[in-house]
Amino acid sequence: MLISTIIFMDGEERQFRAEKVRVGEAGVDYVRVDLDEEGEVIIPLTAIKEIHTTDLSEDDVAADLLG
């Protein structure tokens, strides 16, 4: 399970439980975070300062995050 922490240019920090995190196709400036059954989040690269993605086992993830 991927846990992605995205730090935005304005300092806001958000975490996503993701199936995968991809940078857009050639010439397209976005990051796509696939959220499994919940859809996806598309974020313009110009809004992102940092991305930290960690691959964790379900044993390492807090139960409240798993829902």
Domain edges within the chain: 2-58
Measured distance CA(1)–CA(54) in Å, rounded:
8
Topology (CATH) of 2-58: SH3 type barrels. (2.30.30)
pLDDT tens across 3-19, in order?
Answer: 888 899 999 998 887 77
What are the phi and psi torsion angles at 63 (to 5°)? -60, -35
Neighbours of 18 (CB within 10 A): 20
- CA of residue 25 relative to chain centroid, distance: 17
Tell me the β-bridge partners of 27. Answer: none
Which H or E run contains 2?
Answer: strand 2-8
Per-residue pLDDT, 61: 58
Per-residue pLDDT, 55: 80
